[in-house]
Every structure is written in C-alpha cells, then in structure tokens.
Amino acid sequence: MYRGASDGEKKRGVGLACSYRGVSLGAEGADAAETIVSVQTDGSVIVSSGVTDMGQGAQTQMSQIAAEVLGISMDRIQFLNTNTSRVADSGPTVASRGTIMGGSAAKNAAEKVRATLLDVGAEMTGVDLNDLDLEDNYLVSTKTHERMASFSELTAACFNKGRPMIGLGWHNSPPTSWHEEEGHGDAYFTFVYGANAAEVEVDTETGKTDVIDFASVHDVGKAINRGMVVGQMCGGVAMGLGYGLLEEFEIEDAIPKQLNFDGYLIPTSMDVPRIKTIIVENEDPMGPFGAKSVGEPTNELAAPAIVNAIANATGRRIYELPANLERVLLGHKLTRQGKRGSEQKNSIDAMVVDSCKIRGGKA
C-alpha cells in the first residue's frame, strides 16, 4: 500500500539514486602500480603485485588478465600475496583502483612475456611470428589453427635457449585536465556510472523500515569476472543498507556509546532484500580489456536510494543517517500533523526542535 492509499499504517515507497564517480586517485597525486609475471620451466606461472587484495578479488582478476594474454588456463597460475620486499609498493587499496591499475600492470607484464614466447615459438617451428598465437595452453598457427607446441614445451624451449620469461609491468595513470589554481577541469581520467532503485515498506506506527526490493545498476567498463562483479554489487547494497538504516556510532564525552555489536547494529541475511543486479559494459580504453572499476560505487548509492524511498512512502525527507525508528517515526508523525503549504515548514521546524530536545541538545 503506497502513501497515496487512505487505509493502512504500512506505506510503501520507491526511491532512485544515481552517481558518477572518478576512478583511481586522479588529481590527488601520482598513481602507479607494479605487477610481475614469471613463467616457470614447467609451464606454471607466478603472478605478484603491489596491489593488496583484501577480499575484493584483485588477485583473481589480475590472474585472469595474465592468463588471457598468455593464452593459458587459470589452473597454471599461482598468485603470491603482496610483499613489497619483492615487488614495488603500488599504493593503497582505495579509490576503486585495483582492476584498472593492478590489472593494467598485469596486462603489461604478461605482454612482455608473451612477446618472448612467440619469438621462441617462431624459431622452434619456422612459422612466421605474425602467424602464431597462444591459445588454450598451446602455441597455434593462426592460418591453419594447428597446434604447434604445448605451452609447457614452449616454456622449456625458452629455458634451454636462455630466454628470460619474466615481465615487470608498470602502469602510470593517465594525466588529468584538473587545474588546481583555477579550480576547474576533470579531476579523474575516467569515470564510472551507477543507479540504484529501492522499494521500502514503512510502518508509520513504529517507524520500522523494511527494504523489500532493490535494483543495482553499474557501468564497469568491462566485467573481467562477472561473478565477482555481482558479488561486489550485492555486498555494496548490503553495506549501504546498514549505513542507511542501522549502523550508528555515537560518542558522548569522548566515550563511544556502542561498545559491542549488540549496540552497533549491522544487517543480517534477514535484512537483505531481493537484489537485481545489472552490469553495463561500456569498454574504456584506459583500462585492461576495457575494464574500469566496481567497488565503492556499489556501496555509495544504496543509502540515498533507501532514504528517497522513505520520503516517497511517508512524505518526509530524512537528512540524518541512519534512518532509524526514531527518525522515521518522529518525522512521519510531525509531518502527518502538519498542514500543507507554508504551514509545512512550521511542522518541520517543530520536528527539529523536538528532536534536539530528545537528544539533550539545543535548537
């Protein structure tokens, strides 16, 4: 039952939030990443990067990019945990930069190794270098599609010839048009775009808000791993739901009031609604195979969409998060008692005053 309906205390509403977001550090400072791809004599591949994987899947996507360039299956790749004693520090895992920076460096490193492998392959087979390719763990002829040698045979030949099969990939972010002194221009070399839509049900007697349906749409450039992208999108919605409705960290006299998770509420599986994910792919030449990023943008839009849905359901807009029982209930009751037109503002002002009294503050 939506707000326009006359009966029922539970009202439904829908809300939309859209955004565009800069990728990488941009004008904040120099941004670069290093990845090393090393092929062993048995045909296995070691990948190491200065980009730290905290669970978002950076290691997987860098491995996939290296495997694509080398024409091999993923089971040949071992990814070493980040250690700056053997690979250059590649900056923090922030700014949704893992794929576009680490992935670009991995692609650059793998391409250097690929060039060596194809060069030796041409010497082995007598086939023109331009007619050779690496595909499905084999050196193949692009003209006849014949398998000329296995990847393991090819790497063994490189070793016997003393040809190094290691590539150091380094990627610097492109320059931006931002002009610091004049305060204009693009602060980032590329952007990602997204839209979230939420449907909520608000109990106008208790202030309880349930998110019952959700749609998350993001332009990621190119999805290197669709499963991981969907996981990021669903995880971002769940985190945004907590930010929008539940999570609050209060400090009183320099002492935190929430000392444990019984006071700091986070969403459970029962709180997360149905999530429809839509991946939009507009390949970007700035990223590896056209990929950009998907990380923080999936989280940033959820709370605004939910708050907009609450406003659609109750007629009252909330400007402070989380939209907990008190804020939703207090705001709804005061707005319902208020009159239309100029008297609406007086109702909102009264709500602010009463809210300050409840919190022990001053209006």
Residues identified as active-site: 296
> Tokens in use for 106?
């991995």
For 213-229, the DSSP string reads EEEEEEE-SS-SSHHHH
Angle, in degrees to the nearest 10, between helices 342-358 and 325-337: 140
Cα separation, 82 vs 90, in Å, equals 10
Contact between 73 and 63 (Cβ < 8 Å): no
Peptide bond into 273 cis (omega under 30): no
Contact between 11 and 313 (Cβ < 8 Å): yes
Residue 25, burial from CB neighbour count under 10 angstroms (0-12, 13-18, 19+): buried
- Could you tell me which of 12, 28, 111, 6 has the C-alpha nearest to residue 67? 111
Contact between 307 and 254 (Cβ < 8 Å): no
80 phi and psi angles, rounded to 5 deg: -85, 140
Cα separation, 257 vs 277, in Å, equals 36
Contact between 81 and 98 (Cβ < 8 Å): no
Contact between 117 and 158 (Cβ < 8 Å): yes
Q: Which amino acid is at 9?
A: E
Identify the sign of the CA torsion 141, 142, 145, 147.
positive
Q: Give the count of beta carbons closer than 10 Å to the beta carbon of residue 175.
A: 9
The CA–CA distances, whole Å, from 197 to 12, 17, 244, 302, 316 equal 13, 7, 14, 8, 18
Widest pairwise Cα distance in the chain: 88
Length of the chain: 363
